[in-house]
Amino acid sequence: MKNLFPYEAFLLKVKTEDNHKVIIGGFCPEGKKEETIDSYSNLSKFKLGQTKDEYLIDCFLADAIKQVSPEWTIIVGASISVAGVKSRTGGIIGNPFDKTESAQEDIEEIKKGMYLLSFPGGPGAAFTGIYADALILKEKITEYKLGNYSLKDVLGDLERISNLYILVEDGSGYGSRGGIYISDHSGMKFETFDSKI
């Protein structure tokens, strides 16, 4: 679906004051990308702690993201790398000003024609499109989580249905990949924890 929303995607990677790598991406109004990136760069001044608790990692990350989010941010995702965590965690997505909740494997219509999907253990995605696309994408992500579908396939599906999207992978825990993939009118971009800060 052609992007009918006046938004563009942003993406950056920072290292917190206590050396956690964090990738941040999302949607902001067109013309606000640099200002949005500057706001989220302030996460580098935060200490997110040394907890290994899967739930608290996401809570601390969501709280820090909320503190640095500009008021115009409609969707933001973040992936954090924390060593020594057993279960997949360290990925959040949603409106930074909404109440923080654990992923429920639901489809949420953020606004007409913009959808959010979140899964326990990741990934999470937001995109512009139609509800039927959200149902298909939910099925494809479920297959990906089961090992029957690749990340490349999921991203291919997102490319076919939308030119404004974000996909967030958990960055901590066994088998986590860590990364954010975004697309807008200027094409697809991504950051992972494999590249240097």
Helices (H) and strands (E) in the chain, counts: 4, 10
Q: What is this structure's pTM?
A: 0.93
Dihedral angle sign, alpha carbons of residues 66, 72, 77, 82 = negative
pLDDT at 121 over 80: no
Q: What mean pLDDT, rounded, does the chain reach? A: 91
φ/ψ (deg, to 5) at 32: -110, 10
Element (H, E) at 22: strand 21-29
Question: Does the N-terminal peptide bond of residue 70 adopt cis geometry, omega within 30 degrees of 0?
Answer: no
% of the chain with per-residue pLDDT over 90: 75
Pairwise CA distance, residues 64 & 60, whole Å: 6
Q: How confident is the model at residue 1 (pLDDT cuts 50, 70, 90)?
A: very low
Pairwise CA distance, residues 127 & 5, whole Å: 11
pLDDT at 3 over 90: no
Question: What is the 3 state secondary structure string of 84-143?
Answer: CCCCCECEEEECCCCCCCCCCCCEEEEECCEEEEECCCCCEEEEECCHHHHHHHHHHHHH
